[in-house]
Structure 1
Amino acid sequence: MSQPTRWLKRYRPVAAPRFRLICLPHGGGTASFFRSWAEALPPEVELAAIQYPGRQDRLAENCIEAMEPLVDSIADAVQPLLDAPFAVFGHSMGATVGYEVTRRLEARQTPPRHLFVSGKATPFKERTGRQLHREDDAAMLAGVRELGGLHETFLDDPDLLEVVLPSLRADLRLMETYRPTPDAAIATPVTAYVGDADPGVTVAEAAAWAETTSGGFTLRTFPGGHFFLTDHRDVLVSDLLGRVAAPSSTPGDRHIDSAVRPATP
């Protein structure tokens, strides 16, 4: 059993939350990416961000380089939080991790109310065969920059970059060696968010998340690139909360909001 306190960051703890949002960071990312989200949520909603090993206060720990042990540990760690209704949100790598965590929680009869995936193609997208984790640092970073997969703050600060490189390489290895279970659809409703100028995932690729669930599905696009959610945090959080407050989607429902252009907060 994982030690929950190492895995979970609750930046604004709520004694008896009406709802919880469990957030999974992108590759090379940390739980603190979602710190500001905690303050944007209503007082009765608690955010719990997952802290992967090998970064920030877990820097001394080895990174996990394979999907199965990572998601099994996360599924164990979140168990104490499942006493209230909850949803799962994952960005980029976190979207795929969220899908696999949701599969495990469904198998344990403790499914989330909703899975929100952001900035990532479906796990079943055909792979290119490119293995960035095998490249030297310069080539690996060039590939990540090309895909928009690491925040520019890290790419432009040599000191930060040195700290994040090991976890980034480990996360790339995890994703590039991951093979999803064929035809492993979940029953949890899914909403996919994507930036309309994301160099790493097209709107059509994000729409293919519909194939991963037998529950309802919605796609919503935002203006921006891979990290569109930093510019549109409040609009995205409002949309997310509206969907979990609404009646559950009818299984099989599909809705595409491909032309949505939210106002800049």
Structure 2
Amino acid sequence: MGGEEDLYELVQTEDKHSRDNNVHNDSKNVTEKVVNCLYPHPGAAFKLICFPWAGSGSACFANWGRSFHHSIEVSSIRLPGRESRSNEPFAKTMDRIVAEISNALLPILQDTPFAFFGHSMGAHVAFMTALHLKENYKLQPVHFFVSSSTPPHQIHCQNVPNTSSELEEYLFHFIKNVGGTPKELLENKELLEMTLPILKADIQILINSIFVKPSKTPISCDITCFSGTEDIAKKMEDWQDLTSESVETHKIPGNHFYLTDISNEAFLINYITRCLEISYIA
């Protein structure tokens, strides 16, 4: 009997190891699908998670990794319907996006201090993700960097068309007027036909997402706000309503996409690095 019992225990142990490995591999696959890290630094003191603007992919911010010191590992969020996830349907709700991102980030944020950077719509997604992580897992960023984004409780989507064709026309004029979009893209019909559906899906999420400021301050980390001198983002100072800690605002030369300028990008990277260094010392 002893031999049979030993064999049974061995099989049970192997089955458990197999299940654990499957769970680990599934978790790793989800993380790699959603989180784009082009320049990994396993021993980094901080992780900087970047959230791209509406209609874009993860590549721009993922490439920031080569410009940061190796003490900061940079990753960028990749939403469904673009890049390596182009075969997936677009997300329909902010809740679904936040849940997916949170599940992907949990395995890599448990033991390392982290900060969020979000540009435009990306700042809204970053904020809702920070709120979700705090409420459900008692995790929150050491610093939240907001770029060109009106606070979510101050957004009022008015005069936005309801029909698909009218919305596409509205978005074409929007990206034309907001600045920062290359003229070659605006004049290339094929590229526009690829870009507009992604932008339309993202904007639809913002339209359907209503955030009402709660009576209790949602998060408790410092926030630094950046915007262009000719930006469309409004009331940046009202991010103070959403944190119990300090908020700083900075105006940088340029429009809504001021950060695509090389000198402005360098300023952001240096500023973020200094902030995280200070928080490490503190």
TM class, shorter-chain normalised? 0.7 to 0.9
Matched residue count: 246
The counterpart of 1:191, out of the listed 224, 236, 240, is 224
Measure the CA separation in 1 of the matches of 2:212 and 2:95. 11
**Which consecutive unaligned segments of at least 5 residues does structure 2 have?**
1-26
Give the residue type in structure 2 aligned to 1:118.
S
State the Cα distance separating 1:149 from its structure 2 match. 7.7
Map Cα deviations across residues 63-108 of structure 1 (whole Å, 9 max, x no partner): 1121111111111111122121110000000001111011011111
Please tell me whether residue 207 in structure 1 is matched to residue 237 in structure 2: yes
The counterpart of 1:141, out of the listed 172, 176, 197, is 172
Give the residue type in structure 2 aligned to 1:16.
G
SS in 2 for 1:176: helix
Aligned to 1:261: none
Aligned to 2:202: 171
Measure the CA separation in 2 of the matches of 1:33 and 1:152. 19
CA separation of 1:132 and 1:238: change in aligned 2, threshold 3 A: farther
Aligned to 1:241: 273
CA contact (8 A) 2:180 2:258 kept: no
Structure with the greater alpha carbon radius of gyration: 2
Aligned to 1:162: 193
User: What is the CA RMSD across the aligned residues, in angstroms?
Assistant: 2.1
Please tell me whether residue 51 in structure 1 is matched to residue 78 in structure 2: yes
Aligned to 1:98: 126
Instruction: Name the TM-score, length of structure 1 as normaliser.
Output: 0.86
CA contact (8 A) 2:178 2:255 kept: no
State the Cα distance separating 1:150 from its structure 2 match. 5.4
**Which consecutive unaligned segments of at least 5 residues does structure 1 have?**
251-265
Structure (1 or 2) with the greater helix fraction:
2
Give the fraction of aligned pairs with identical amino acids, expressed as a percent. 28
Map Cα deviations across residues 23-80 of structure 1 (whole Å, 9 max, x no partner): 0000001000213311110022111110000011111001112111111111111112
Instruction: Name the TM-score, length of structure 2 as normaliser.
Output: 0.81
Aligned to 1:64: 91
Measure the CA separation in 2 of the matches of 1:140 and 1:161. 11
CA contact (8 A) 1:151 1:227 kept: no
State the Cα distance separating 1:238 from its structure 2 match. 0.7
SS in 1 for 2:267: helix
Measure the CA separation in 2 of the matches of 1:42 and 1:193. 21
Deviates more, 1:82-91 or 1:178-187: 178-187
CA separation of 1:55 and 1:153: change in aligned 2, threshold 3 A: farther
CA contact (8 A) 1:133 1:170 kept: no
SS in 2 for 1:52: coil
CA contact (8 A) 2:41 2:72 kept: yes
CA separation of 1:133 and 1:19: change in aligned 2, threshold 3 A: farther
Map Cα deviations across residues 100-131 of structure 1 (whole Å, 9 max, x no partner): 01101111111111111101111011514232
CA contact (8 A) 1:87 1:113 kept: yes
* Runs of 4+ more than 6 Å apart: none
Aligned to 2:8: none
Aligned to 2:211: 180
CA separation of 1:137 and 1:227: change in aligned 2, threshold 3 A: same
CA separation of 1:176 and 1:152: change in aligned 2, threshold 3 A: farther
State the Cα distance separating 1:170 from its structure 2 match. 0.5
Measure the CA separation in 2 of the matches of 1:133 and 1:23. 30
State the Cα distance separating 1:220 from its structure 2 match. 1.1
Give the residue type in structure 2 aligned to 1:39.
R
Measure the CA separation in 2 of the matches of 1:137 and 1:208. 30
